[in-house]
Amino acid sequence: MTRQYASGGSEIARLVVDRLGGSWTLIDNEFIDQVARLAGFSRDEVARREERAPGLLERLARTLAAASPEMFVTGETPIPVDTEEETLVRMTERVIAEAAAEGRVVLVGRGAQAVLAMRANALHVYVIAATPFRKTVAVERLGVDPATVDRVIHETDHQRDQYVKTHYGRDRQDLTQYDLVLNAERLGFDGAANVIVAEVKRRGWI
């Protein structure tokens, strides 16, 4: 699931998992935790660095570690920013691939639509909403300061777009790469979740 910032995508994903039943898993904040464990980063460090294009990263002052030998980096010398970014991207891709292989997962963000673009058994969903609606969600549900909400929405969307463009050469706004494009304002969170669940059932995945 790809989503515009404050469109309600994360909440819709939780509703979908609840309605699909206990055999389905949401990979959202848990996803950050998994990447953090693979990388040896704290969750906060990963959250700050993910969905950013190179150049917006500060250097890490610690060892990078990963789940496979070729991704293991050690030493006290700071590692170049581009190396840090690529290491994190590769580890993120690994978690996405492993989660997809497990099956019955709902992946939210982190370029999953690009990583899994060629998988036949993936349902790609893009959740959108009008800006006034998103501003309300950002302020009332996410605790964003009303004085900065316009900037936060613009910058977050831009950062997510740049992440996908930089690492996968894809335009996140190209609607042809999605199976469903859902307007959360018009459908409501429950309605959007119902559409997704209905499509999952139609495909015989439950």
Look up the pTM and report it: 0.79
* Least confidently predicted of 46-50, 144-148, 180-184: 46-50
Query: Mean pLDDT for the chain?
Result: 81
Query: What phi and psi, each to the nearest 5 degrees, are found at residue 25?
Result: -125, 135
* Pair of tokens at residue 151: 């900037």
| 129 strand-pairing partners | none
Question: What is the distance between the alpha carbons of residues 36 and 193, in angstroms, rounded to a whole number?
Answer: 29
- Mean pLDDT value across residues 7-24: 95
Asked if residues 59 and 78 have their Cβ atoms less than 8 Å apart, the reply is: yes
pLDDT at 65: 36
Q: 202 or 120, which is more confident?
A: 202
How wide is the angle at C-alpha 51 spanned by C-alphas 41 and 135, nearest 5°? 120
pLDDT higher than threshold 50 for residue 163:
yes
What letter does residue 205 receive in the DSSP assignment? -
Sign of the dihedral through C-alpha 183, 195, 27, 189: positive
> Looking at domain 2-202, what is its CATH homologous superfamily?
P-loop containing nucleotide triphosphate hydrolases (3.40.50.300)
Greater pLDDT, 65 or 98: 98
Beta-carbon neighbour count of residue 26 at 10 Å?
20
pLDDT at position 71 over 80: no
Q: Is it the case that residue 124 has pLDDT exceeding 70?
A: yes
What is the structure's pLDDT at 89?
A: 82
- Neighbour count for residue 141 (Cβ, 10 Å): 12
Nearest to 28 by CA among 7, 43, 49: 43
pLDDT of residue 47: 67
- C-alpha distances in angstroms, 202 versus 107, 120, 160, 199? 19, 15, 30, 5
Annotated domain spans of the chain:
2-202
